[in-house]
Structures are given as C-alpha cells and as structure tokens.
Amino acid sequence: MKKLKMGMVGGGIGAFIGDVHRKAAAFDGKIELVCGVFSSNPEKSRKSAEQLGLPPDRSYESFEKMIEKESMLPKGERMDFISIVTPNHLHFPPAKMALEKGFHVMCDKPMTLTLEEAYDLVKLVKKTGKVFGLTHTYTGYPMVRQAKEMVKRGDLGEIRKVVVNYLQGWMSTQEYIDANESAWRSDPKKSGIGGSLGDVGTHAANMVEEITGLRISEIAADLTGFGKNRILDDDGNLLLRLENGAKGVMSYSQVATGDENAFSIRVYGTKGSVEWHQERPTELIAKWVDAPKQTFTPGGNGTYAESTAFTRVPPGHPEGYFEAFATLYNNFAKEVMSVEAGNPISKEVEFPTVEDGLRGMQFIYAAVASSENNASWVSLKE
Amino acid sequence: MKKLKMGMVGGGIGAFIGDVHRKAAAFDGKIELVCGVFSSNPEKSRKSAEQLGLPPDRSYESFEKMIEKESMLPKGERMDFISIVTPNHLHFPPAKMALEKGFHVMCDKPMTLTLEEAYDLVKLVKKTGKVFGLTHTYTGYPMVRQAKEMVKRGDLGEIRKVVVNYLQGWMSTQEYIDANESAWRSDPKKSGIGGSLGDVGTHAANMVEEITGLRISEIAADLTGFGKNRILDDDGNLLLRLENGAKGVMSYSQVATGDENAFSIRVYGTKGSVEWHQERPTELIAKWVDAPKQTFTPGGNGTYAESTAFTRVPPGHPEGYFEAFATLYNNFAKEVMSVEAGNPISKEVEFPTVEDGLRGMQFIYAAVASSENNASWVSLKE
Amino acid sequence: MKKLKMGMVGGGIGAFIGDVHRKAAAFDGKIELVCGVFSSNPEKSRKSAEQLGLPPDRSYESFEKMIEKESMLPKGERMDFISIVTPNHLHFPPAKMALEKGFHVMCDKPMTLTLEEAYDLVKLVKKTGKVFGLTHTYTGYPMVRQAKEMVKRGDLGEIRKVVVNYLQGWMSTQEYIDANESAWRSDPKKSGIGGSLGDVGTHAANMVEEITGLRISEIAADLTGFGKNRILDDDGNLLLRLENGAKGVMSYSQVATGDENAFSIRVYGTKGSVEWHQERPTELIAKWVDAPKQTFTPGGNGTYAESTAFTRVPPGHPEGYFEAFATLYNNFAKEVMSVEAGNPISKEVEFPTVEDGLRGMQFIYAAVASSENNASWVSLKE
Amino acid sequence: MKKLKMGMVGGGIGAFIGDVHRKAAAFDGKIELVCGVFSSNPEKSRKSAEQLGLPPDRSYESFEKMIEKESMLPKGERMDFISIVTPNHLHFPPAKMALEKGFHVMCDKPMTLTLEEAYDLVKLVKKTGKVFGLTHTYTGYPMVRQAKEMVKRGDLGEIRKVVVNYLQGWMSTQEYIDANESAWRSDPKKSGIGGSLGDVGTHAANMVEEITGLRISEIAADLTGFGKNRILDDDGNLLLRLENGAKGVMSYSQVATGDENAFSIRVYGTKGSVEWHQERPTELIAKWVDAPKQTFTPGGNGTYAESTAFTRVPPGHPEGYFEAFATLYNNFAKEVMSVEAGNPISKEVEFPTVEDGLRGMQFIYAAVASSENNASWVSLKE
C-alpha cells in the first residue's frame, strides 16, 4: 500500500502537540512524513527535521517555500497534504496557500485566528475541492462515536438537554503563572479573541453538535480571566439553546484547580441519556427511562459497528488520546485517497471538517460578544 | 434522658417524606412523636395516628386545633416542636401559628409558598426567639460538612468557581406523565412559582452557599417546562455570580432521563477543589494544585472533627439519606434543648435555618424573574 | 400496631455495635427496647439502662436474672425476644437459656464460641420452635438480595466461580497496636479459635452461600497473624470449592492497610456475572456474555421486587449499613409476629438463621484446621 | 537518529498481536520494520510483507532463512533484532537461532513452550551477551511503574499481602466455543502445559514480582477447565507465599463471564497500599495507615520521575495498551542501542527480561504440578 505523504507546519521537537500529530499520523500506517517547516526559528526547524530523519532538501525555511517547492515536485514524490500545528494565527495563511496550490489540509483547532478567515476557508475548500480536516481530537474516541450513533438511531428519543464541562486546572499552578507572560496562548494577536474559550471551549461546543447532530442556536456566556495578568478568558460558563428547543449548559476552565483534563458530556433525550468522561474514555454510560443503566465499551457487547470501527484492539484493552487522534488521521487519509483516486468529496466523513471549524469560530465570536454584553443571548446562526 | 416531644403536620401513612421525617427524628433517640394531624383527610389522618401508635386524643383534625390544644397541655406533656411535612402552600400557616403559640418548628423545604411569607417568617422567628430548622437534607451528610470545613479553614484558597448539578429523571417516565395532572407539585397554587426549581433547584442553591460560605449575588436563569401539560418548570440552567467575584453554573432537572438523584457539586479555589456526588455520599474528592487527588471518607483519615461529628459508625460502613436527615434533627434537637434550658439562641447552628429558607425563596423568585426576562441577570440581594 | 418487646444482652452505651442494633431494631417501628443487661459491669449496665430511658426494674444484673424475671412477667408485658450483642463467648449461654425459657433470639455473629455450641443451638432452636436470627448484616442490603434473586432465577446460568474479598486495615494502625492487648477479639477464650476469620471471614463465607444458594464443600486456608503479639489470625487467603463444582477464592484481612471496609464479591455463571462492593452498596454491576454491562440500583429500573422490598426510599437516595441491619430486624420481627400469631415457622425467611450460624462455625473450624495442616483441603460437610 | 531495524517472526496481517507489536515498535520512532516471516503459510506471509511495504527480498519463507540471510547482510543494512509473535511453541527456536547468529530478541510471553527451553534461553542470553526483552505489556504502564517505585522507596513499608486478579470472559461466549477446536491456545503442543495460566496467569505472577520486588516462593494452585472440550485450564485460583513472608491470593480466568480484561492488583504494606486496575490504567490508588486515600496519575502531582518517564502527554490525556507496549519497545531499543554502542549490558533495565520469562515458566510448571497434586504447595525456587 502506498502511503500518503505529509508535510508539516509547526511542531518542532519539544512541542507537545507536534509530536502527537506525528505519532497519530503514522499510527495506522497510511501516512508518512516527508517534509516540513517545524519552527519560525530556522535553526530549530532544521534540527527538528534532522532528528525526524528528513533529508535536508525537504526541510524548509518557511511554509511558503515548502508549498511552493513541493508543488513543483513530481506527483508521487511531493507531499499530498500539509498538517498545520502552529499557534492559531498561523493556521490560515498556510492552509489557504496549500489549498490554492492543490494540497489537502489537516489543521489543528481553533481553525483560524478570526471569524472572517474561517468564512474564507470554507469558500476556499469548496472552490478547490480539496479535503480539509480539523483535529477535534475527542470526536475520534470510540465511545463518542457510539454516543453519536445512539442519538442518530433515535435510541435516546428527542434530545432535550445537554450538560458539558471541560475543566482543566493547569493555569492555577505557580509554574504556569511564572511562565504566563511569554505564552502565545495569552496573546490575543496569536491566540485570537478567545483564550481558554478557543483552547478547550471549542472542543466542548464541537462535542455537543457532534453527538447530538443539532446546531447550537444561541448562547449566553459569562467569561472570566481569573489569572493575574491574564488578558484573555481562562474560565467560562454558558447557557446553550439548541435548534430543536433543547437546552444546555457548558462550563469550561483552565483554572479549575486540580482537574487535569476533565472533559465530560451528558446528553438527555426523552427515552434515555448518555454520559462520557474523557479521563475514563472507554466507558459510555447509557441511562434509560425504563431499564437499568448500561456501560458500553469499545468493541464491547452491544456497541455499534460505527463505533467499533474506531478501535483496534479487543474490548478491555484501553486506547486513549493517541489512538483517538490517529483515528482522525486515518479517516482523513481514507478520504484523501478516495479523492485522489478520482472520487467526489464524500457527503459524510468520519473526521471534523472545515464546517466544524467555522462553527468553532462562530462559537468563539458569539461567546465573546455575549460576555461583553453581560451574558446576553447571541445567535450562532451563520 | 428526657426526649423532645414532636407534633407532626402532614406525612400520613404512605407519604414518602413523612416516613423519612419520622424515622430521622427518632433515629438518635432524642425525639419522640406525641401528636399529629397527618392529612387534610380526617379519616386518613386518624388512621395514620392509630398506626403510629398515638393515643386518639393526640390525633387532631387540623393543625389549628393541634397547636391550640397542645398549648394548653402542661409543659412536659405537650409537644415541644412541630415538624411540617405538608405541600409547600401549607408550610407557612402552621409555622406561623406554632411560633406564635410558643413552639419550635422544623419545616420541609422550600420554606414557604411566597417570598413575602418567607420575610414574615424570618421576622417571626426573631421576634418569638424560637428555634426554626429547615430540612435541606444534604447539608446533613458528613462529606458535605467536610467540604464546608475545608473551605472555611482556607484549605482551598480563595473560591473562584462552582459547578453544581441536580439531575433527576423521574418526570420523564410514563408513570409520572400519567399521574401528572393530579400532582400538587404541578399546581402553582400549592407548589408556588417554582416547580423543579423549588423541589431540587433550592437544594443546589443551598449547597453552594453552605459549602462556600458565600452568597450567590446574582443569577441568570433559563427555565423550561418540557413535560406535556407541565405548567411549571421541570428543568433549568443557570449562571451564577457569587459575592466575592466567583462564578458558577447550575443545572437542575427532573426530566434528565435515567438519572435517579444525581446531585453533585464541585467547588474550585486557588489552592484546591472539592467534588461530591450524592449517590456516592461517603466519598469527598479533593484535588490540589500541587499534590495528588485525595478521597476523604466519613470518620476516615484526615477528616475534620466537625465532619466526623456527623457520623455514627466506623469508616467504610455507609450511612445515607436517613442518617443525613437524622443528623439535622439531632442538631435541631440539641439547640431546642439548649434554648429550653435557658440558653440564648446559638449564633452558629449545625442545621439550616429560617435564613437559609429565605435564601431559597429569594433564589426561586430571582430565577423565575430572570427566566421570564430571557435569562437576564437578577440580583439575590435582600 | 403493637410493637415487639426486645431485651438486650450487651451493648452498653459506648459500644459501637450495641448502638447499631438498637437503632436498627427501632428503625421500622416494629420493635421497642424494654429491658436489658448491657454490661458485665453492673454500674455501667445500670447507667446504660438509665440513658436508654428504661425503668430501673427492667435493668438487670445478669442475663440469667433478666430471662428468669422477664419470663415471669405477664405476656404482653414481658420481652418477646432477646438481642445478643456480647463478645463471642457470651453468645451461647444467653441464647440457650432464652430459647429454653420461651423467648425468640436475635444474635450477633459468629454465632457461638465453639462448633459444639453451634450444633447444640441448632437442635435447641428446632426443639423449642422459636425464631432465631443472626445479624449477617450484609445480607440485608437490597443489592445483595438482588444478586441472590438473579442467581435463583437462573439469570447468570450455572455458577462457576466466586471471588470474594473482605479487606479492612484498622489493625495496622498504631492506635490499634497500642490497644491490642486488652481487646477481647485478640483473646481466644472470648473470640474463639478464629480472629479476623470470625469477625470478617464469616461474613464473606456467608455471602458466598447466600448469593449463590450453594454450599461451600471444601476449603484450603492459609491464615496468618501479622500483628506483633497477635495470637489469632488477622489475615487469610482461601481456595474454595462449591458443591456444584464451582471454584472460588477468598481473601480477608484486618491488616489490609488503608482499606476501611472493602467487602466485595463477584459471582460468575455461564451466562452472566454480578459484582458488589459494600462501600458503594447501591450499585450492583451485572455483566453478560452477550449484552452490555448493567448497573442495578435499589428500587431502580429492572430490579426485582424481592430486592425492592429491602428499600424504603426512591432510587438514588442512598441507604446504608443501618438500613441493612434494620431490614434484618424488620424481617425477623415479621417472622416472630407470625409465629406468635400461631403460624408455623416459615420455610424460607429473609434473614440469616441458626443454620447460617452453624455454617459460619463450620467454616471457622475448617479454615483453622486447614491452615494448621499447611492449607490442605478440609471439608465443610456437616 | 538512525533507527533500529526489526525483523518479525509471526504476526501476519489479521493477527491481533502482530499489529500491536508493529505499532508499538514504531511508536516512538526508534524502530523500523525491515524484514519478516509473518506466517507459516508462505502465501499469507508474502502478502503480509507486501501490505507492510517490505521489499520482496526481505520477505522470507522461514525464520531460519531470515536469520541466515539477514546475518549475511552488511551491518547497518541487516536487521538488528527480531520480534517473535508466534504461538508459544515457536518462541524458542527462532529466539535461540537469532541469539546464536548475533541478533537481539524481543519475544512475546510466555517465553517458551517448556521450562527446559526457558533455562536454555537464560544460558544462551548470558553466553551471547545479546539483549532479550519479553513483552509483559502491563509493566509498561506508568502507574505500574509508579507502584513499583513506591514499594522500592519504602513508601508502603514492609509488604505483607497481595491480591491479584486477571479475569476475562471471552471463552464463555458462544463464538469462542464454536471456534475453540481449532485454536492453538487449546492445544498443549502449541500452547504448552498452561492454558489461560500461560496466557493471563503469567501476567498476574509477573506483576506481583515486578511491583513488590519480591519473589513468589511457593504456590498452591487449583486449576480448572470449565469449557466443554477444553483440555487445558481456563480458570485458576492460587494461594501465594512470597520470599519475605508476605501472603497473597491470585485468581485468573478466561471464563469470567462478562469481564473484558479485568486485571487488577492490590499490594499491602505496613504503612500503606496500592491498587491498580488495568481497565482504568491512569489511576493508581494509594491508601495509607494514617492519611486519606490518594489517586496518582501519569505525570500528575506527586508521581515519581521513574513513572513519568513512561508517559508522553500531559496529565489527563489517557494513554493505554499501545503506549504501554511502546514503552517496552522503546526501553528495549535504548538498551540495544547502548549495547551496540559498546556498552555492557545494563544491570537494571526498564523492560522484562529473560529472567522474567524464566520466572513465568517456573510459575506455570509449579501451578500445574500443584494442581495435579490437589493444590498442594509447590516451590518456585530455581
């Protein structure tokens, strides 16, 4: 099997998320890294390329050069897609150029720095016919896929209520406070108008829409920056209304002291409900109006095929963060291969798309607008 | 030891909560039931009295007669306090009359039908110098007491955030839907302006103030009645702001399909946080900015004396709902005995008071006002 | 309703288990304490009686006098049964005398000091036709009753395997070590030949037979006394073989450092299995060969009526140790009332009996014999 | 960085464990697959090699040819080590030949078919000076490493007791029963004298010695084959005695209906204890004689550096089975690189070795011998 060739923007050695992307891309054997520009610091970028075993001529000084040069290489040799793992302000420029030069794109979230860029990207993806994927990691978990499928099949009845929390505490540590000044996440020019809102809040919003299959229609958001010297939000509480009349509540934070990555969601319908906790990712709890509580597991009894397709091992052997990430890359790769083989873009794909990225940016903008207006309701309609 | 004598209003045989009150009052051996009017239906009331082993002359036709007649009995024979376990609209009248006739009062929550009655009751309690207790059951749990003490001692640092959920699903069942029409809880004339808001929402609000020691200063509430034919709310999502600048979020429901009594609270401070789930009441999870997560248990290692005072058994032997209730009655009884012995009313007591009842009514009124104004902020200031 | 009259042997004020028995007996309103001898120390006994509100003439100097005198009181005034909560060596003598004098008996476990006494007691109960109950507390938990019923109805298929642990750690504490010398539990003359074996091991053995409905046919036991100066065992590991060919393993300890009351059991059949943990008593986990894991709760969806009969509150409101105990007293009281009303002894009762007590003693003797013979197999056949 | 070159024996496409080994080996970027013989069926082997992207001349017909041919390739081109993922009877022959021809070896467990082979392998490894690793996967989990380190540093005091369970239920399914006849695991000629004993029991035994740092000195084992037509054991219960006088109990099964991969261990010392459950691998529960229970997490607060070295992500982002496996390969690779660089074999390595493999075989032989002698004690001394 011929592997897809990946070029990377960002994620130099030492950057946590770059390593995750590389391991995840390689995991299922469909993708190989062939080139990259790993840092805005050329020396650091070069060294990263070397450590990653890339030939010197595939280590580039800038994403512009990389896209330019790679596009001139013969098909079969040049990269097939780029993976963008830079700070938020550097998502749009390489994505745009790559699409225009005929490359597919896998991009970290939030998708862009501004809402305007997000709209542009949606148009560009449509126009170019390329595949665009967004790494909302948590949608790659088998039990999230199971929850989505249960809603879709009507197992839970009509959805009425959603409770979603994404609670981290690392911004409460002295270590973080000391390091805060220099962090790009704290700088609106690099992070955008959302702080923790963009970092974790968008995951929560995406999860709500992913599992319920419903749009969030309006939100009322009360955002706070508790951290000393913190310009952007590090905490938020939101009321949600969904397009079908369902209601919800969201709480996210990065100053929820002592929480590590406590992302959880509960979705309630007229017939049943589901509950998932990211830190125990292999358990999907389902509760029923007239039957005992159940726990579904990846590949376990009663789990739907759509979910089991997201696992690689027998039930009871935990998969986690890397595998969820890998599943997104794997599904992205399948779609790229299909499109490269001449098929049209699929109507439904098993990874987040540019449309999800736009939803995320709409969410950020609506939340900030709401919060600036004392948590008044703001619509997420396009 | 002489036991306190209790008269009961409401709670005829078959009523769930009446039985709980009786068992709880009797549990620690300080209280005995001596008289009562157990139902507005005289026959049912009489039969209840008989089954409870009361002499016929202590089974009354109305609370008015009971209070009147008992007040004429010699001290030492007559009841010392009344316990009110009627529907909400019948809390204030017997409470008022009892206080005025010199009896102490233990009352179910929410305290009154209207906010005005609540203000009146506060004045009346102050004026009469009697002891007034309110059965916010969950404050009787040892691990709630532990959480409160940890906040009070500063273990968690400054409080920044609260996440509280009280999720039940029994109003989603067909059984409930069929029975809905006749339920007093669904009738604003008997229940007051809050539906599930009064039933479970007030517990959640009380818990926030109880543990944090902080007042909720304002709320934005989005209440919904999902049930067909439901006049009052059966679900609500709220943003909270506390007096010290802390933020919070509350979600309550009685249509959270499949949940039984999923009441949980998380309180986050600058140094640590605590998490408690009512359905696993013997575990208080504490998370720290710089140390591993801990689990405290009733009477277990490291648990404060103030909490251990709420337990009766060695660690690992679960106490539950009845014992939490009993602890409130026990602490109420101690205060009544102290006051009867000539001591002044204590400044701090270990059971919810008329002030907590007023806070609950303020919460209900603010939430309904907010919801009617599209979840705009409403102050809870007195 | 006329209450049953209870006389108590042992359990003076300050003794943990005496208080539990009294609260449990009183809980469901069927039993009242009318007399007792609460301590071998007459002064302590008298003071306990006084504090418990007993008239001086019902406070006795010895169990012999109590049984003698009470038996001469008119029916309707005299006690109906005695509750024995003394150290092990003082179980048999009052039980024997009470039965012979026409009283029913409720007794703490292990039932007797010696196996011979146990055989005698079985004969005596048969001969006198009195009701004899044994407080194997954990059989009073609704989820244990559910597990038993599931096995009985064949839901799990044929039973193949049992894994039971009863792990406490309080004998590891310095506090215990300091107090060790004087404890009756450490003295074979008062405790019998089993130490922790009798205290917690018998609960584990009883639970196996109670839930599976099968007899343990033989055991191989490796008992240890880890504690310095400890004469009796404080820890044991056992292989089990059941009468139908099922196999099992048991581990009990009171030096399992850090464990509070970690009693758990897993029962595996050909079609499914159940798992219960005493410290989370409201959850019975059921696992199936071909369906997702379920969690049953007291009174919750799918729970059998036989189990729900052991609860008093709606699902989600935890009951615990006291209520389990109370359920045994309640069921014992029903049987006593039935027998007093002239009915024959029931063939099946919902509380442990003298036969269960005998099984416990057989278990202790077999375990000690096995351990003394280097864990060779010893039969539990009668 | 130059990658180590891996040749594989067994694990053709479709074989679960082969895929796990390949993903795990590749995970941390230190190892690349360069050749292999993937099946005893040459056509299947060839196709597997093709799918894995190997050149035809590195796809071999037999392990003999592979080792022979590879040994003749120039250093830097030829494989550095072989990974053996065949059924048990095909572990020793390729391992032996590889070692003799100068290759390092990574081998699945149990290490050999017979105890004699195990002794031979120990000698051969010593003689050749090559690196030999054994994939006792679970030792690669960060929380297992943490437990080991806590024991080593004396945090738990002196070890007294171990409770270990490894419970799976997949042999209870109809699907398994139907497929049973042909499974190599059921055939003593391919599996060895242990059935589930070798498959899961050896993991349990290894975990006990790994965490406690103590040898199991003798065991009493009661093994059973419950499955119809099952020749070998599918279930076992064992008493354990450790070299320092500690006691323990083990239960393993593959007919524990409904359990997926319920591997858990509890280790008790005089000062504290630890508890780990493979299905929730990111939580290590520590309980103390005088302090509240703690939960350690990979890389979380208070976790030792030796454990954190086994993680790749921030706390709260679950790693699982693949990452544990990868950690073993990663640590094996480091040692191979060190040895290839001319360093002597390390005295302590962070992966299971040939000595652990021998212990596993001694355990199997002792357990079978004990069980054949009605669970009498058998020594594991070498």
Partners of residue B26 in chain C, C-beta under 8 Å: 26
Interface predicted TM-score (ipTM) over 0.90: yes
Q: Are D28 and D329 in contact (CB under 8 A)?
A: yes
Instruction: Specify the pairing of strand B31-37 against strand B104-107.
Output: unpaired
Taking the complete model, does pTM exceed 0.95, yes or no?
Answer: yes
- Cβ neighbours of C258 in D, within 8 Å: 268, 272-273, 286-289, 293
Please state the separation of Cα A124 from the chain's center in Å: 20
How many contacts (CB atoms, under 8 Å) link B and C? 92
Residue B165, pLDDT score: 98
Q: Give the tokens for residue B196.
A: 């599930």
CATH code 3.40.50.720 for A4-138+326-353: yes
Q: Is D370 at the interface with chain A, CB within 8 A? A: no
Q: Which residues of A touch B174 (CB under 8 A)?
A: 289-290
Nearest-by-Cβ selection for B287 from A259, A266, A271: A259
Beta carbons of C257 and D293 less than 8 Å apart = no
Q: Å from B287 to nearest chain D CA?
A: 10
Mutation target vs C (from A285, A293, A297, A304; most C CBs, 10 A cutoff): A293
Distant-in-sequence, close-in-space partners of C94: CB < 8 Å, separation ≥ 6: C9, C63, C67, C82, C84, C86
**For testing contact with chain C, the best of D162, D163, D165 (most C CBs within 10 A):** D163
What are D172-215's pLDDT values in tens digits? Answer: 998 888 776 557 777 889 999 999 999 999 999 999 999 999 99
Strand A378-379 versus strand A216-224 pairing type: antiparallel
Provide the β-strand partners of residue D221. Answer: D238
pLDDT in tens, A83-135: 999 999 999 999 999 999 999 999 999 999 999 999 999 999 999 999 999 99
Looking at CA atoms only, how far is residue B257 from chain C in angstroms?
12
Q: Rounded CA gap, D375 and C241, in Å? A: 12
The size of the C-D interface in CB pairs under 8 A is 143
Among C286, C292, C302, the residue with its CB nearest the CB of A302 is: C292
Residues on chain D touching C167 (C-beta within 8 angstroms): 163, 266
Query: Using alpha carbons only, what angle is made at residue B235 by residues B233 and B241, rounded to the nearest 5 degrees?
Result: 105
Does A292 sit within 8 Å of C286, measured CB to CB? yes
Token couple for B116:
């005005």
Tokens for D167?
């419970």
Residues of B in contact with D302 (CB under 8 A): 291-292
Alpha helices, H only, A82-141: 92-100, 115-128
The domain made up of C4-135+326-349 has a fold known as Rossmann fold (3.40.50)
A281: exposed, middle or buried (Cβ count in 10 Å: 0-12, 13-18, 19+): buried
Q: Is A289 in contact with B172 (CB distance < 8 Å)?
A: yes
pLDDT band at B181 (very low <50, low <70, confident <90, very high): low
Amino acid, single-letter form, for residue B166: Y
**pLDDT score at C16:** 86
CB contact under 8 A, B273 and A259: yes
In contact, D208 and D361? CB cutoff 8 Å: no
Q: What is the DSSP string of D187-205?
A: -HHHH-S-SHIIIIIHHHH
- pLDDT tens across A300-355, in order? 999 999 999 999 999 999 999 999 999 999 999 999 999 999 999 999 999 999 99
Q: Inform me whether the pLDDT recorded for B382 exceeds 70.
A: no
Range 219-248 of A in CB contact (< 8 A) with B? 220, 222, 224, 226, 235, 237-241, 247-248
Residues in chain C: 382
Neighbouring chains to A with at least 3 Cβ pairs closer than 8 Å: B, C, D
Q: What is the least distance, in Å, from the CA of B294 to any CA of chain D?
A: 4
CA distance A154 to chain B (A): 14
What are the chain D neighbours of A261 within 8 Å (beta carbons)? 314-317
Establish if C262 touches chain B: CB-CB under 8 angstroms: yes
Q: What Rg, from alpha-carbon coordinates, does chain D have?
A: 20
H or E segment and range at residue C199? none
End-to-end, the C-alpha distance of chain D in Å comes to 41
Beta partners for residue C296, in sequence order? C284
Token pair, residue C314, equals 């709606």
Share of chain B above pLDDT 70, in %: 98
In the CATH scheme, what is the code of domain A142-315+360-379? 3.30.360.10
What mean pLDDT do residues A146-166 have? 98
Q: What local confidence, expressed as pLDDT, does residue A63 receive?
A: 97
DSSP string, A14-33: T-HHHHHHHHHHHHTSSEEE
Asked whether the beta carbons of D124 and D100 are under 8 A apart, the reply is yes
Instruction: Name every chain B residue with its beta carbon within 8 A of the beta carbon of C311.
Output: none
Condensed to tens digits (0 to 9), the pLDDT of residues D105-132 reads 999 999 999 999 999 999 999 999 999 9
Query: Dihedral sign, CA of A137, A138, A142, A145?
Result: negative
Is the pLDDT reported for residue A185 higher than 90? no
Structure tokens at B66: 């009971």
Q: How far is CA C188 from CA C108, C183, D363, in A?
A: 17, 11, 37
* Residue appearing with tokens 């404080």: C234
How far is C-alpha D296 from the geometric centre of its chain's CA atoms?
24
A 10 A CB-CB count for A334 gives: 18
Smallest Cα–Cα separation from A284: which of A276, C72, A160?
A: A276
B163 touching chain A per CB within 8 A: yes
The pLDDT value recorded for residue D93 is 98
Radius of gyration of chain C (CA): 20
pLDDT in tens, D292-335: 999 999 999 999 999 999 999 999 999 999 999 999 999 999 99
Tokens representing residue A234 in the block: 């590090």
Contact list in C for residue D176 (CB cut-off 8 A) is: none
Query: Would an 8 Å CB–CB cutoff place C142 in contact with chain A?
Result: no
List the single residue in D172, D268, D377 with the smallest CB-CB distance to C257. Answer: D268
Out of D51, D259, D320, name the one closest to residue A319 (CB): D320
Tell me which chain D residues have a C-beta less than 8 angstroms from the C-beta of C249.
237-238, 249-251
What is the pLDDT, as a whole number, of residue D174? 84
Q: Do C172 and D374 touch (CB under 8 A)?
A: no
* Window 278-307 of A, Cβ < 8 Å to B: 286-290, 293
Distance in angstroms (rounded) separating the CA atoms of residues D186 and A362: 58
Mean confidence (pLDDT) of chain C: 96
Note whether C237 contacts D240, CB cutoff 8 Å.
yes
Q: Are the CB atoms for D197 and D361 separated by under 8 Å?
A: no
**B142 Cβ contact list (under 8 Å, min separation 6):** B282, B298, B299, B303, B307, B308, B310, B311, B319
Smallest CA–CA separation between B237 and chain A, in Å?
6
Q: How far is D140 from chain B (nearest CA, A)?
A: 21
- CATH class entry, domain B140-313+360-379: alpha beta
CB contact under 8 A, D294 and B293: yes
pLDDT score of C180:
67
C62-to-A70, A206, A223, C59 alpha-carbon distances in Å: 99, 73, 71, 9
Q: Do A258 and B293 touch (CB under 8 A)?
A: yes
CB contact under 8 A, B314 and C20: no
Q: How far apart are CA D207 and CA A380, in angstroms?
A: 53
Q: What is the mean pLDDT of chain D?
A: 96
In this structure, which amino acid lies at residue D180? N
Q: If pLDDT is split at 50, 70 and 90, which confidence band does A171 have?
A: very high
Q: How is chain D split into domains, by residue range?
A: 4-135+326-349, 141-309+368-379
Show the low-confidence residues of chain C (pLDDT under 70).
1, 180-182, 382
B270 contacts chain A (CB < 8 A)? yes
Identify the CATH number of the domain defined by range C142-309+360-379.
3.30.360.10
Q: Could you give the strand order of the β-sheet that contains D81-84, starting from the edge strand earlier in sequence?
A: D31-37, D4-9, D81-84, D104-107, D132-134
Condensed to tens digits (0 to 9), the pLDDT of residues D52-82 reads: 999 999 999 999 999 999 999 999 999 999 9
Convert the pLDDT of each residue in A20-78 to its tens digit: 999 999 999 999 999 999 998 999 999 999 999 999 999 999 999 999 999 999 999 99
Q: Given CA atoms B274, B275, B279, B280 in this order, what sign does their dihedral have?
A: negative
Q: Smallest Cβ distance to C239: which of D237, D258, D287? A: D237
Residue with tokens 């750690």: C169
Fold of D141-309+368-379: Dihydrodipicolinate Reductase; domain 2 (3.30.360)
Reduced to 3 states (helix: H, G, I; strand: E, B; else coil), residue B293 is: strand
